[in-house]
C-alpha cells in the first residue's frame, strides 16, 4: 500500500515525500480512506504511529476539494489538551499542506490575544486550538465557528474527561449540527467511548493496534525503589549511562521544580515544563530540549500526550501516574515511528498499586527489579493499597470518572457559559498538573 493508493492528491503526495515518509502507517492506511468518505470516526492506535497525518492529510484534501469561499470561514477545528500539542499539530498541518492554498492558525492561552485576533480577521481554513482561549475569543465575538465542517478531538479521551468536558460541551454548542467528527487517541476507556457516542454520528471505529497497549519496541523497566533515594538513583543513571536526552515525568509542578534544581546542581542541564511556568518558558524549554541544548526536561503530564520528540531515547517516570492511561502516553514519548526507546519507572511502595492498575490496563505483567543499595522497605502483598484519597483515580479537579456527565446525545450539550475563569486557562492544566 502506498500513499497514492489511498487516493491522496499530488500536492499532498509531494509534501509526504518531502517529509521522507515512504509508506503509510497501519492507522493511516485504515483511517485516511474513511475520513475522505466523510465518515465520523473513533480511531485508536498506539503512541507514535502517525495518527496526526491520519487525520490531517485527508482533511486537507477534503478542504481543498470543497466549496471555494470568497472569505475564508473556519472549516476545520482541531482541539488539543495542551498548547504545545496544538503548536505541534499546526506545524504538521503547515508541512503537509505546504503545496496547497489553505490557511491555518494555532490559538492558545498564555500569550497575547491580539495577533490571534488579527489572524482570524485575515481568514483561516483550519484552526488548531486549546479550548480555553477558543471560548474566550468566542465570548468576545472574534471567532465564528458556524461554518465548521470537520471537528477533530486529538487525545480525545483526555478531551472528554472531567478536566475538559465542560469546555468541549460548550464548544459543541457553537458548531453546526451537521459536521464530520473525528476522535483520535492511543487510549480509550469504556466510559469515554460511551461519552463519545454522544458526539459521533454513525461512526466507523478504526483500530490499528490493540487499544490501551504500549509499543513493543519500548523497553519498559520497572524498578522498585526506596522513595528518598529516587533522586540519587536518577542522577546516577544519567551520569553513568551518559544519557544526553532524557524526559522525566513527575506528578506535581513542585516536584518537577525540585528535581530540576537538583539535577542542575549536579551539572546535569535541566529545565522544567508545567502549568505554572510562563508560556515563554514552556516553549523555550521544549525547543531547547528537542535541539539537545538541555539534557533533561522535567515535566508534569502536560508533556505526556501527543508531543513528538523524534528519536528520544529515554523516558523516566520519577513518580508513577495515578491514572493508568497516562503511563501509556508518557512512555509513548519514546519509541516513536519504529525507533527504539527505554522507559524506566521508579516505583516506591506507595505506588505499587498504581503499577498493578497499569498492568491491568495494558494487559502485561512487569518483572520488577530491585537494585542493591536502593531497595525499598519490605512490604507484604496484602498491604499494597492505593494511597488514601487516590482510590478513584483523580486528576485533582474531581476525578476522571465523568460520573455527573452522562454520555448523552447532541441535545445533552447545554449552552451554559463555562468560561467563568477564562483568562487563566487554555493550557489544559487541571488540578496540580
Ligand atoms: N507514514 C509515516 N512514515 C514514517 N514516519 C511517519 C509516518 N507518519 C508519521 N510519521 C512520523 O511518526 C512520528 C509520530 O507521529 P504522530 O505524532 O502523528 O504519532 P501519534 O500516533 O499521534 O502518537 P501519540 O499517540 O503519541 O500522539 C512523527 O515524527 C511523524 O512525523
Ligand atoms: Mg498524536
pLDDT(392) > 50: no
Query: What ligand is nearest to the CA atom of residue 334?
Result: 1
Strand partners for 78: 128, 152
What is the whole-number distance in angstroms between the Cα of residue 411 and the centre of ligand 1?
Answer: 35
State the pLDDT confidence band at 270, using cuts at 50, 70 and 90: very high
CA distance 9 to 61: 7
pLDDT in tens, 366-375: 999 999 999 9
Q: Which architecture, in CATH terms, is 218-393?
A: 3-Layer(aba) Sandwich (3.40)
Instruction: Say which residue, 166 or 425, is predicted with more confidence.
Output: 166
Closest to 251 in 3D by CA, of 220, 219, 226, 274: 274
Q: What percent of the chain shows pLDDT beyond 70? A: 89
For a mutational test of ligand 1's pocket, the pick from 86, 308, 343, i.e. the residue with the most ligand atoms closer than 8 A to its C-beta, is: 308
For residues 151 and 180, the answer to whether their CB atoms sit within 8 Å is yes
Residue 125 CA to ligand 2 centre (angstroms): 21
> pLDDT category, 432, cuts 50, 70, 90?
very low
State which of 30, 49, 79, 208 you would mutate to test the pocket of ligand 1, scoring each by most atoms of that ligand within 8 A of its C-beta: 49
Atom in ligand 1 nearest the alpha carbon of residue 22:
3
Determine the Cα–Cα distance for residues 397 and 199; give it in Å rounded to an integer.
23
Domain ranges of the chain: 4-207, 218-393
* Ligand 1 pocket member 21 (CB < 6 A): yes
Whether residue 21 contacts residue 3, with contact meaning beta carbons closer than 8 Å, is answered with: yes
Give residue 48 CA to ligand 2 midpoint distance, Å.
Answer: 7
Q: Is the CB of 80 inside a 6 Å radius of any atom of ligand 1?
A: no
Interval between CA 157 and ligand 1 midpoint (Å): 19
218-393 has the same fold as 4-207: yes
Question: Residues 314-336: what's their mean pLDDT?
Answer: 98
pLDDT at 71 (0 to 100): 87
156-202 pLDDT, tens per residue? 999 999 999 999 999 999 999 999 999 999 999 999 999 999 999 99
Structure confidence at residue 433 (pLDDT): 53
126 CA distance to ligand 2 middle (Å): 17
Global pTM value: 0.92
pLDDT one-digit tens code per residue, 198-244: 999 999 999 999 989 999 999 999 999 999 999 999 999 999 999 99
Ligand 1 centroid distance, CA of 423 (Å): 32
Query: What pLDDT shows up at residue 401?
Result: 37
Specify the range with the lowest mean pLDDT, choosing from 9-18, 36-45, 260-269, 400-409. 400-409
Shortest-distance ligand to the CA of residue 44: 1
CA dist 28 and 22 (Å) reads: 12
Length of the chain: 433
Query: What does the alpha-carbon distance between residue 96 and residue 19 come to, in Å, rounded to a whole number?
Result: 8
Confidence of residue 429 (pLDDT cuts 50, 70, 90): very low
CA distance 297 to 323: 21
- Beta strands at 150-154 and 180-185: parallel, antiparallel or unpaired: parallel
pLDDT in tens, 127-155: 999 999 999 999 999 999 999 999 999 99
- Does the beta carbon of 53 sit less than 6 angstroms from any atom of ligand 1? yes
- Checking if the pLDDT of 403 tops 60, the result is no
Asked if residue 419 has pLDDT above 70, the reply is: no
The finding on whether 50 has its CB within 6 A of some atom of ligand 1 is yes
Between the CA of 310 and the centroid of ligand 1 the distance, in Å, is 9
| Rounded CA Rg of the chain | 21
Asked whether 52 lines ligand 1 (CB < 6 A), one says: yes
Least confident span in 335-344, 385-394, 400-409: 400-409
Residue closest by Cα to atom 27 of ligand 1: 306
Distance CA 103, CA 124 (A): 5
49 CA distance to ligand 1 centroid (A)? 5
Angle at 306 (CA atoms; ends 304, 308), nearest 5 degrees: 100
The residue nearest atom 12 of ligand 1, judged by CA position, is 337
What superfamily does domain 4-207 belong to in CATH? P-loop containing nucleotide triphosphate hydrolases (3.40.50.300)
* Distance in Å, CA 351 to ligand 1 centroid: 31
Q: Between 67 and 418, where is the model more confident?
A: 67
Measured from the CB, is residue 46 less than 6 Å from ligand 1?
no
Closest C-alpha residue for ligand 1 atom 25: 47
Mean pLDDT for the stretch of residues 93-104: 97
| Residue 393: band (very low, low, confident or very high) from pLDDT cuts 50, 70, 90 | low
Which ligand sits nearest to residue 57's alpha carbon?
1
The verdict on the CB of residue 335 being under 6 Å from ligand 1 is: no
330 lines ligand 1 (CB under 6 A): no
Amino acid at each position: 500500500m502506498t500513499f497514492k493508493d489511498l487516493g491522496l492528491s499530488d500536492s499532498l503526495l509531494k509534501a509526504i515525500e518531502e517529509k521522507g515518509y515512504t509508506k503509510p502507517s497501519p492507522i493511516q492506511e485504515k483511517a485516511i480512506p474513511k475520513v475522505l468518505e466523510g465518515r465520523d470516526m473513533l480511531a485508536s492506535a498506539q503512541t507514535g504511529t502517525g495518527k496526526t497525518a491520519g487525520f490531517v492529510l485527508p482533511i486537507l484534501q477534503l478542504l481543498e476539494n470543497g466549496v471555494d469561499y470568497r472569505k475564508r470561514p473556519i472549516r476545520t477545528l482541531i482541539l488539543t489538551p495542551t498548547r504545545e500539542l496544538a503548536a505541534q499539530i499546526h506545524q504538521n498541518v503547515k508541512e503537509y499542506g505546504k503545496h496547497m492554498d489553505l490557511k491555518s492558525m494555532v490559538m492558545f492561552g498564555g500569550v497575547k490575544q491580539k495577533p490571534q485576533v488579527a489572524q482570524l480577521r485575515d481568514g483561516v481554513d483550519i484552526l488548531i486550538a486549546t479550548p480555553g482561549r477558543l471560548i474566550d475569543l468566542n465570548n468576545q465575538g472574534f471567532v465564528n465557528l458556524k461554518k465548521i465542517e470537520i471537528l477533530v478531538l486529538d487525545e480525545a479521551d483526555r478531551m472528554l474527561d472531567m478536566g475538559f468536558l465542560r469546555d468541549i460541551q460548550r464548544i459543541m454548542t457553537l458548531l453546526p449540527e451537521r459536521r464530520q467528527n473525528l476522535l483520535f487517541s492511543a487510549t480509550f476507556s469504556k466510559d469515554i467511548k460511551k461519552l463519545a457516542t454522544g458526539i459521533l454520528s454513525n461512526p466507523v471505529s478504526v483500530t490499528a493496534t490493540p487499544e490501551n497497549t504500549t509499543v513493543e519496541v519500548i523497553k519498559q523497566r520497572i524498578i522498585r525503589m526506596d522513595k528518598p533515594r529516587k533522586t540519587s538513583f536518577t542522577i546516577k543513571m544519567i551520569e553513568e549511562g551518559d544519557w544526553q536526552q532524557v524526559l522525566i515525568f513527575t506528578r506535581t509542578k513542585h516536584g518537577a521544580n525540585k528535581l530540576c534544581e537538583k539535577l542542575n546542581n549536579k551539572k546535569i542541564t535541566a529545565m522544567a515544563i508545567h502549568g505554572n511556568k510562563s508560556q515563554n518558558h514552556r516553549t523555550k524549554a521544549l525547543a531547547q530540549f528537542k535541539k539537545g541544548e538541555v539534557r533533561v526536561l522535567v515535566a508534569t503530564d502536560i508533556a505526556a500526550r501527543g508531543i513528538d520528540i523524534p528519536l528520544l531515547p529515554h523516558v523516566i517516570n520519577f513518580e508513577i501516574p495515578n491514572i493508568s492511561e497516562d503511563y501509556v502516553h508518557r512512555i509513548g514519548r519514546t519509541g516513536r515511528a519504529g525507533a527504539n526507546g527505554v522507559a524506566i519507572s521508579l516505583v516506591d511502595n506507595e505506588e505499587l498499586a498504581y503499577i498493578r492498575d497499569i498492568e491491568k490496563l495494558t494487559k502485561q505483567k512487569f518483572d520488577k527489579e530491585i537494585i542493591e543499595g536502593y531497595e525499598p522497605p519490605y512490604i507484604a502483598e496484602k498491604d499494597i493499597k492505593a494511597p488514601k484519597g487516590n482510590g478513584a483515580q483523580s486528576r485533582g479537579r474531581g476525578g476522571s470518572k465523568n460520573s455527573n456527565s452522562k454520555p448523552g446525545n447532541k441535545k445533552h450539550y447545554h449552552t451554559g457559559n463555562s468560561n467563568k475563569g477564562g483568562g487563566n486557562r487554555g493550557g489544559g492544566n487541571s488540578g496540580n498538573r
